[in-house]
Amino acid sequence: MTTVDRTVIDCLRELPLPDAVAIGDAALRAGSVSVASMELVRAEQRGWPYIGNADRALPILDGRRENWFESWSFARLWQLEIEPPEPQVAVYDQRGRFLGRVDGIWLDGGVVAEADGCGKYLGEFDTDGASGEAAARVVLAEKVREDRIRDCGLEFVRWGIDDMARDPQAVAERVERARARGDLGRFRGRLHPTPPCLGALKPPIRAA
C-alpha cells in the first residue's frame, strides 16, 4: 500500500532501531531504495511522530551488509556506543592470496567482526538439515580461515544470535577488549573493502 521508501522510513520511525536498520539495509541491498530517495521521504515526513528515530537510524544504514543479523547486531552495538565496523572486507595475505571476506573490520585497530547466525553451520545442506559430518566440515573450514587471517596480524571477535539476545552488553565488552588488543600496524597483507556503490571503488588498504 506504500512505496518501499515510505515503508522503510515508517519502520525507522516506529520500530526498535536494530529491527529498523535490518529492514533498511535489506532494502538498500536489494536496490529497492537509495539514500537519496529515503532522505526525500524523510523530508516529506518532517514533523511526523518519532521522526527523530529515523534521523538516528539513517546515518548507520549500509546495504553492503549481507544479512539481517549483521545489520541487527551492528546496530545493537551502535546503541551501546560502538560504531559499526567497515562491512564485508576481503582479506589477502602478503603474497596476495585471498583468505576470506569478513563480516566487518574496525580499521582503526585491525579487528575483525564476525556475526554468526546458526544457518552458517546448520540447516543449509539439505532439506532435512545439516548432517553432523557436514556441519563439522564447515566448522573446521571456518577455523582454518580464522587462523590464516589471525596469522596476518588481525584480531578477531565473534558472536552469535544467542550472545546478542542474552547479553548484548557482554558482547560490547568483548568488542572493546578485542579493539584494545588490536593493532593494524601488525597486519601484513591487504584489505579490500566492498565499495559503497558502483563507481565509488575504494583503493586496497595495504599493511605498513
**Phi, psi of 207, rounded to the nearest 5 degrees:** -70, 155
**C-alpha–C-alpha distance, residues 61 and 75, integer Å:** 9
**Phi, psi of 59, rounded to the nearest 5 degrees:** -65, -20
pLDDT, residue 132, reads 67
Look at domain 86-206 and name its CATH class.
alpha beta
Domain extent listing, the chain:
4-63, 86-206
pLDDT, residue 140, reads 79
Tens place of pLDDT per residue across the chain (208 aa)? 899 999 999 999 999 999 999 999 999 999 999 999 999 999 999 999 999 999 999 999 999 999 999 999 999 999 999 999 999 999 999 999 999 999 999 999 999 999 986 555 455 545 555 566 776 777 778 888 999 999 999 999 999 999 999 999 999 999 999 999 999 999 999 999 998 753 333 444 454 4
pLDDT, residue 95, reads 94
pLDDT, residue 130, reads 58
